[in-house]
Amino acid sequence: MITDVHTHFWLPDHQGPPWTDGLGRVSTRLAADSIDRVTVESYRRQTAPAERTIVFGLQAQASGIVVPNDAVAAFVRAVGGQTVGFMSVDPTRHDAVEEIERCHADLGLCGLKLGPIYQGTSPLNPLTMRVFAAAERLGLPVMIHQGAIFANAGRLADANPLLLDDVAIAFPRLRLVIAHMGHPWVHETAVVMRRNRYVYADTSAIASRPTVLATALSAAKEYGVLDKVLFGSDSPMVAAGSAAAALTRVVARMQQIAHTAVTDEELHALMHRPSFDLLGIPAPAEPALVTSPDRGAHP
């Protein structure tokens, strides 16, 4: 079973400058639809062949994007049967912890998406640390964008994955997923994963950067953490099918030229990682069957 741990939901109404100014710089070569609007139909196209997915929005006022968590929860219900939702909060908001508690208790969102650089802050800012503390207390895994971005927000110095070592030490039971292997700092990501039991990373977005992807996979294998790398696409920017195909191409090329290559068996394990189990989140609920007198049971 293929699980895609990194997919997005947003609509044009959720986005403004500077986000919209920078979105045009994002490569759409591996996308299957428009990247500024996600509908149920486009989402299903973008995430095939994944059988399970995690979807989230982003709340980052400094970058001009605020996706309401209620809209994410409604989207999860509309997709039905394959998807679980993560909330997002902006740590700079005074009510960030209250919003986490509400989304967990009332909306059924089972994880948290953060992007400190998009949010104009650092993972080590006390405002962000209180968010990590709430996530650990509630048993919520955190997907964190800790790496380069296309928008002109935050400081790159605050986006280095090495900073997450301090987070993992402070919150040893918190499950963290470093998005995009923390590119371009893929070696830093690998060593943070090796030191900390519950730190993972995903392959999202870097399918469009084959050299970065190959380097990230080699680094993960050399540091003994390839089994902590999860498959992610970055839909709608990168469709899951395109991400899987790019992984296959890169691994095949690595087997020809890389000092440390990934085997076919290791690639298969990565693509079929039991990511939900590793992150401690429930499987998506199956769509309810409705019985019609003339048509029988149907979803």
> What total number of domains does the chain contain?
1
For residues 95 and 134, the answer to whether their CB atoms sit within 8 Å is no
pLDDT given at position 296: 35
pLDDT given at position 292: 33
Q: Any idea what the CATH number is for the domain that residue 176 is in?
A: 3.20.20.140
pLDDT given at position 287: 52
Q: Parallel, antiparallel, or unpaired: how do β-strands 59-60 and 65-66 relate?
A: antiparallel
User: Exposure pattern of 76-99 as b/e (b: 16+ CB <10 Å)?
Assistant: beebeebbbbbbbbbbbbeebbeb
- Over residues 20-33, the pLDDT tens digits come to 887 877 878 889 88
- Give me the domain span that covers residue 85: 3-298
- Name the maximum alpha-carbon separation found in the chain: 63
Contacts of 124-132 with CB under 8 Å at 24 or more apart are 124/158, 124/163, 124/166, 124/167, 125/91, 127/91, 127/92, 127/96, 128/91, 129/167, 129/170, 130/91, 130/96, 130/97, 131/89, 131/91, 131/96, 131/97, 131/100, 132/167, 132/170, 132/171, 132/174
pLDDT given at position 252: 98
pLDDT given at position 294: 35
pLDDT given at position 152: 75
Rounded to two decimals, what is the model's pTM? 0.93
pLDDT given at position 297: 32
pLDDT along the chain (299 residues), means of 10: 97 93 80 92 96 98 97 96 96 97 98 97 98 98 93 88 98 98 98 98 95 98 98 97 98 98 98 98 64 34
pLDDT given at position 286: 62
d(CA 17, CA 108): 30
pLDDT given at position 23: 81
pLDDT given at position 291: 34
Distances (CA, A) of 182 to 74, 220, 228: 30, 12, 14
Distances (CA, A) of 87 to 8, 54, 181, 262: 11, 11, 21, 34
